[in-house]
Amino acid sequence: MAGQVPLDPVEDGFELRASSRGDGLVFLTALAGGQLQWQQGSIDLQLLARGTLANPIVNGFLRVGDAAFVVAGQSVEAVKATAFFDFQQLQLERFTARSGEGSINGQGNLAFRQEGGEPGLNFTIKAFPIRRPDARLQVDGSLKLQGSLRQPALGGEVKLSQGSITVSPSELSSAGGPSVPVDQAVPEASWDFQQPVVVRGPRVESADGAAVRRRVPTFGPLSFRNLRVALGPQLRIAAPPVAEFLTGGLLTFNGPAGPDVRISGVVKLLKGRVSLLTNVLKLDASNVNVAVFTPSLGLLPYLDVAFTTRVSDRVGGIDGDQVVSSN
């Protein structure tokens, strides 16, 4: 690597030359904070950047050959990619990756700074298995990365099926997070008695909703643009040993990839149960049993579910069973 970098980001004279062969760039995986473990493969890079630091013009190429790595606990192998840096845009000629019997293929163009007329980067996902401690399922569909490298927007439609998503009950019990001062938690604490104050309604976030938002990470400048996620068939969401549900439905994500994401859609609970002390409550099949997500409710859905259970009793020496419903 060689070149010169002016202290003023808008001053001309910026020039940087970089080249690498084999595994010379593997050390950069340490920037992922342990979420990426490189196993094998080669990375060839030839890069020339000039102009200004704030708005550089970049030429060169990046080639990845027969790579294998583990990212966020997920093994990915047979990764091959060829990309060209063509002045003001990234041109992805080919991207392929495999995991088990599944595959990901991609190509397209993406601007460095400003969104242009190019279609973006397109990825096709076929029977790609997710094998993590908290998720074992299959992903199919297509993704489109639009916008620019500095402000990417992810869209498309994917289907999650044939598996399960596991939530630890301890995570649910600790979802409250740090305490919030009273003057920040309730709007009436700072009421000046001059105008009506809304303390509960479709546009007032609940304390539970605020607690969930605090636990959602932010993924940099990434945003969602009508990303549709279909659930099912044969997708279970479980919090063992407390609850387990067979689900189906469709969710649409928009806005920033973080606590302020806007979710809309319906998740249908097809079958399931909740264990409460010594009783098991099963979903009442005669009810709609849905979770409805709307942007006005934040990250917590509106629930319409009903359960039934059978309670044994003993009155006057006569045994009996009673069916109890709970909504």
List pLDDT tens digits, range 181-222: 444 445 556 667 677 755 555 556 666 777 788 888 888 899
Rounded Cα distance, 297 and 241, in Å: 28
- Does residue 67 sit in the same domain as residue 17? yes
Identify the domain containing residue 25 by its residue range: 1-87
- Does residue 150 sit in the same domain as residue 297? yes
Residues with Cβ within 8 Å of 231's Cβ and at least 6 positions away in sequence, in order, are 159, 160, 161, 247, 248, 249, 250, 251, 267
DSSP track, 238-263:
EETTTEEEEEEEEEEEEEESSTT-EE
Residues with Cβ within 8 Å of 119's Cβ and at least 6 positions away in sequence, in order, are 108, 109, 144, 146
Count up the domains in the chain and report the number: 2
Q: Which amino acid is at 232?
A: G
Rounded Cα distance, 292 and 288, in Å: 11
Q: Give, rounded to a whole angstrom, the gap between the first and last alpha carbons of the chain.
A: 65
* Paired sense of beta strands 290-293 and 74-87, if any: unpaired
- Does residue 267 sit in the same domain as residue 168? yes
| pLDDT at residue 219 in the model | 86
- Does residue 67 sit in the same domain as residue 124? no
- Does residue 286 sit in the same domain as residue 166? yes
- Does residue 16 sit in the same domain as residue 79? yes
Q: What percent of the chain has pLDDT over 90?
A: 57
| pLDDT at residue 183 in the model | 41
Within a domain: residue 317? no
Nearest to 56 by CA among 88, 85, 83: 88
Rounded Cα distance, 287 and 227, in Å: 29
